[in-house]
Amino acid sequence: MQRGNKIILDQSTTKKKPWFQPDRAHKYYKLTGFYTFVIDSIKKSMPPVLIVVAILAALHFFVMDINEALELAVETLPDYGVLAFFYVSETVLGLIPPELFIAWAGETSTPIINLSLIALFSYLGGFTSYWIGRRALKIPSLHNYLEVKMAKQLVMARKWGGVLIAVGALLPLPFSMASLVAGMLSYPVKSWALVGLLRFVRFALYGAAIFALV
């Protein structure tokens, strides 16, 4: 009996702890400033997004119904024209909500194909923004500004850059801006390419929701 108890005791003491412990992770993220970094990143990204949303809302209520505009685009523009415009938008600033283009895809004759292409062009647009950021870092004035005046923020961004990209890929925030910053901070390209794949997840989820409405 005692021998059996000893075996049970040995097994309980040698049992491995779970690889992820929420309490310890929470304390670590709090001490290292992870939560502050994410909140600040979201705050800095929201103003331009809100401005564009306000403009689109004003156009919708006072100029032209967005649904009618989408129908007009489907009727007048070829698919490659809409996709090219979307790629430019996702490369430059990414301020035009992708949801509009997802709704457009739902109005076409091949919604799944066009949704897949939109997700791909969004990913490629972010990748282009990333390389623009890498090239911009070679500008002496910009390099000095990042390395000297934003040294503290630079350390945090390099440490949590993957989270910033994930937030931009999944949430309704400019993915292009997150990718541009990642490039300027010399975030590893392979890591960006891997985390950036979350962009496809976002379009799949949003597409399923929007297709049910359009």
Indicate whether 27 belongs to any domain. no
Phi, psi of 150 (to 5 degrees): -120, 35
pLDDT at 147: 61
- Closest among 56, 47, 42 to 100, alpha carbons compared: 56
pLDDT at 165 over 50: yes
Indicate whether 24 belongs to any domain. no
Rounded to whole angstroms, how far apart are CA atoms 98 and 202?
A: 10
Q: Sorting pLDDT into bands at 50, 70 and 90, what band is 50?
A: low
Q: Sorting pLDDT into bands at 50, 70 and 90, what band is 116?
A: very high
Indicate whether 85 belongs to any domain. yes
Higher pLDDT, 71 or 63: 63
Which range, of 69-73, 165-169, 183-187, 191-195, averages the lowest pLDDT? Answer: 69-73
pLDDT at 143 over 70: no
- Closest among 142, 134, 150 to 182, alpha carbons compared: 134
Indicate whether 126 belongs to any domain. yes
Indicate whether 182 belongs to any domain. yes
Q: Sorting pLDDT into bands at 50, 70 and 90, what band is 127?
A: very high
Which range, of 124-128, 139-143, 193-197, averages the lowest pLDDT? Answer: 139-143
Taking all residues of the chain, what is their mean pLDDT, rounded to a whole number? 74
Indicate whether 14 belongs to any domain. no
Indicate whether 11 belongs to any domain. no
Cα 173–Cα 175–Cα 177 angle in degrees, nearest 5: 95
Residues with Cβ < 8 Å from 93, sequence gap 6 or more? 48, 174, 176, 177
Rounded to whole angstroms, how far apart are CA atoms 87 and 179?
A: 14
Number of domains in the chain: 1
Show the domain range for 184. 34-211
pLDDT at 176: 83
Rounded to whole angstroms, how far apart are CA atoms 124 and 116?
A: 12
174 burial level (CB within 10 Å; 0-12, 13-18, 19+): buried
* pTM for this prediction: 0.66
pLDDT at 154: 62
Indicate whether 92 belongs to any domain. yes
